[in-house]
Amino acid sequence: MSQFQPTDRTQVKRLPKRGHYDRETVYKILDTAFVCHVGFNADGQPFVIPTNYGRSRDTLYLHGSAASRMLKTLSEGIPVCVTVTHVDGLVLARSAFHHSVNYRSVVILGIARLVEGPAEKMEALRIFTEHVVKGRWDDVRQPTEQELKATTVLALPLEEVSAKVRTGGPVDDEADYALPVWAGVLPLETVVKEPVPDVQRKADPPVPEYLKNYSR
């Protein structure tokens, strides 16, 4: 299916025209971001934790230390909400009320599964690495058995998902268009700079091509 089926919890109700449920839009938002925010409830206290992630088809992988409270709690099968957001521009209107931002966001609801099989766990770690820097996995030392034991990996199915996107310029009240105030969009983007080598390097090879040509 090319579409995620919206539910009562993922149907965009505020400004529904901004809602998107097609996999192409959702995947593109997920695959070009680095960080997600994981929301969950532990002992009556809500938490929202930023972390890295990786995606393989309709599965989102989370990982971290085996001592992580977040991962231990989620592995117990409690509900989780994961969000990813890009801010693409500041939308400056003629009135304070109508200021906004251009953005692309995804909300994922579900229950995460603890990944225990060594093969899937290793594949998930490859996915994390390749998500951040494509081509890096083949360059680096692979995780040892001890490192695998020290790492927890969770798999969250992409089933209850929606995206929300705003594009375009400001929308002012008709009377405000005559005001002598600049209005428009200030675009924002992440800029790649020159790689900075490790100060502890010892006969490092040249900067790899995947860093020279890095883009999202």
Check whether 203 has a pLDDT greater than 90. Answer: no
With 0-12 / 13-18 / 19 or more C-beta atoms within 10 angstroms meaning exposed / middle / buried, residue 113 is: middle
Q: What is the pLDDT of residue 1?
A: 76
| Interval 7-17: pLDDT, tens | 999 999 999 99
Check whether 201 has a pLDDT greater than 90. Answer: no
| Interval 148-157: pLDDT, tens | 999 999 999 9
Alpha carbon distance 70, 138 (integer Å): 30
pTM of the predicted model, to two decimals? 0.93
Q: End-to-end CA distance of the chain, in Å?
A: 26
Which sequence spans correspond to the domains of the chain?
16-212
Residue 120 vs residues 23, 124, 155: alpha-carbon distances, Å: 23, 6, 10
Q: In CATH, what number does 16-212 get?
A: 2.30.110.10
